Chains A and B, each alone.
Chain A
């Protein structure tokens, strides 16, 4: 191969990377461009904070933002302790084979399609919530966040375990040598040392919970309202996009879904930056070793 053709291939590699990176920026540009009438003259803030009443000419997405936050935050409230418990079980409490088996099951869980969770949610979880809490149709914030918790837990557990494993062994051995138990070792050494990893895991899981469409769309009920309790129906930004898309095509009402898209894009950007910072912190921690 000549030096010339070698350079051509290298250029191609660069072109591929550039195109992929460019697409990321391009997506943002497209969303803003198509939602344009809604973004001009500082109307974006207004849209974020006003109610959805298309017949009165108000296309605010405030109820959807609250719905998204309520569902995903509640999902995190369920998922965090569950994942922390499972991660402790896998890396600290159980030993040998059992620990490996549980880990395999958790890994396999990350491969379960979202739509399958949604499907089972409709026919198994919703009747359960309806009967146990006597909560109307059962399609509510609580059902959606329970199912989302199941969706995001495996990722969180694996990241927790990974960050526990990254803590240098010698630190832990020092505790054991002083007569400490494995739980003491975990509480006083492993946990404080692995906080950047925990931040990364929680942020990633939150991103998945906010970005997931199918579960909320299928089991949260999709009423456009600011949910007053966990038994109220709610609509997320993602399901709003899917629902309005299916209904209508050329009006200002339709343009509002691009405002949802832009909000989700910006939210993702913030989460990615948080993850970057946390990973950077972990890098610093590594230098101490």
Chain B
């Protein structure tokens, strides 16, 4: 891999239906956890979709030095949208095999199955996700993402719909990814979870989207989350 940062946004601007959603967003992310927060409708999901190459934007977005729409970039990040995007015609087990093959990571399947087991879905591997609850679908979506060994994970409100043990498991898995040198960008509203995760001795930052701009309320490596930041998280 080149020396390029894992994720780089330069003067990113997103306009949807003549409404300025984001402007002049600049961000460089390396091996760290970026916690994206902001009020409902602030533009968190829009930012994530833009950096995943799923929305039109102005400015530059680079993932390991490549455009997010390129095959190289897509082979280096996984995106979990707020509403799980799954192949409704495949069972859970088939999802794991297909995802592992699509990302050319045969060994990822075993890890995905391990996550599914930890999420208590091992008995449902032969079922279609369309018959499952929102939380179960979210668990599948997360297992497919966490099983892959990729430099960048982008997760839009991944804690929604998860039960408490699953939230703890996800927090721990994301911290482990950062410790392994990967970048994780997460959007969420759960301030208590943020506190738990950001206190876990991993390099992390809290970024706030407000009035279409990104504000770095930075917290460096291992520094305790300040009360002010948590207030913003919970706002």
Q: Do A and B bind each other?
A: no
